[in-house]
Amino acid sequence: MTYEDFASAQSFLLWSTFAVALIMGAVVNKTNFCTMGAVSDWVNMGDTGRMRAWVFAIALGVLGVMGLEAAGLVNVTNTFPPYRQNNFPWLENLIGGVLFGIGMVFASGCGNKTLVRIGGGNLKSVMVLLVIGVIAYFMVNPFPGSDKTLYSTLFYPWTSPTAVALGTNQDLGAILFAENAATGRMVVGGVVGGLLLIWAFKSADFRGSFDNVLGGLVVGLAVLAAWYITSNVMVDADGEIMSLQTYVQDWDLYAPADAVRPAAAGPLASQSFTFINPMGQSLGYAASGFDRTLLTFGIMALAGVAAGSLLWSLVSRSFRFEWFASFRDFVNHFLGAVLMGFGGVLAMGCTIGQGVTGFSTLALGSILTFAAIVLGSAVTMKVQYYKMVYESEATFLKAFVTALADLRLLPAGMRKLEAV
């Protein structure tokens, strides 16, 4: 996929991203693929169908990246964001993941689900998108007239010192096999991906569920498609074939005088789907008057998922407007959006961005974030359940301790409320 000029290459990248996202949005809506729903079904009903769909998508991502990387067809080492960076900010991954997990429970869905719900006519999710966008934008961009961001003010001073500087990339293949990282990635990817695939299809109920299998299949393949596209769109600059990112970095050497230069080269690196930081990018893009220099992969991905969901909603006649049922419902969604905005940027991704895309690179931080998101959402759901059943008798502390006992994170003897 080599183009003679940057504008054509960038246009292909953006529109192909939109097309893949459109398909994913339609299928996610059709199949009700939902990571929060996956945790809810597991925690509240013992149903692992949607959790297996999520794991199936992860397995496809891991196995697909393993094969494509071995064949030299994708670059998942120098990416945006840098999943395999040498710096391992474990505390940010942990705290960000837990915050995001809590937030998506209050906001009725993760970043991807928020876009799908918007496509289905849910006006509550529009508010969630806007709040996440504001938080995400100012987590990485300074306040007007200042050089301070939300991240530098609230988190960096105490989270940054805990980061571990690794002697190699933080993916499991590089960590376990050191200088033989390429071999390690194939071995670890094959083992991890294979085990996840076996677990997903071990259930006869899952194998018999067309929607769950289709949802996991399409999400996993969409992540791989984005990795492939962003790794292989090139520009022929006077006979020298280079990536879009490299071209922008050397803009003055190759670009015509009348060409429009993107605002930054970073968002042109190889990447795949993630939805929280792009919500901040979308806010900046809209606030700029839709300045084309700010148009990115992430913005097109957001638009594609929402459009695909809208398309399916219209075809299936399931489109309907939905608004807040009460002021408490509004507060819950607002709080959830704030937590997802902070958590998603701090952890460098969401249930798709870290839970599938990042996990596909076998990055340690992505795997930790995935576990933290599941933990945060599972505990929150359990606490809400016990508070609802026992009402005034269930203080937050009692419900919290009981939730941890239910999840076997504390001894059963420590539970404060009877199981229901």
The DSSP secondary structure of 73-113, one letter per residue, reads ----SSBSS-TT-SEE-HHHHHHHHHHHHHHHHHTTS-HHH
Q: What pLDDT shows up at residue 420?
A: 73
Q: What pLDDT shows up at residue 224?
A: 98
Q: What pLDDT shows up at residue 417?
A: 83
| Chain center to CA of 62 | 15
Ranges of the chain whose pLDDT falls below 70? none
Q: What pLDDT shows up at residue 64?
A: 97
Q: How many residues make up the chain in this entry?
A: 420
Q: What pLDDT shows up at residue 258?
A: 84
Q: What pLDDT shows up at residue 392?
A: 78
Give the whole-angstrom CA distance, residue 36 versus residue 104.
7
Give the whole-angstrom CA distance, residue 64 versus residue 69.
8
Q: What pLDDT shows up at residue 297?
A: 96
Q: What pLDDT shows up at residue 239?
A: 85
Return the DSSP state at 393. Answer: G
- One-letter amino acid of 47: D
- One-letter amino acid of 294: L
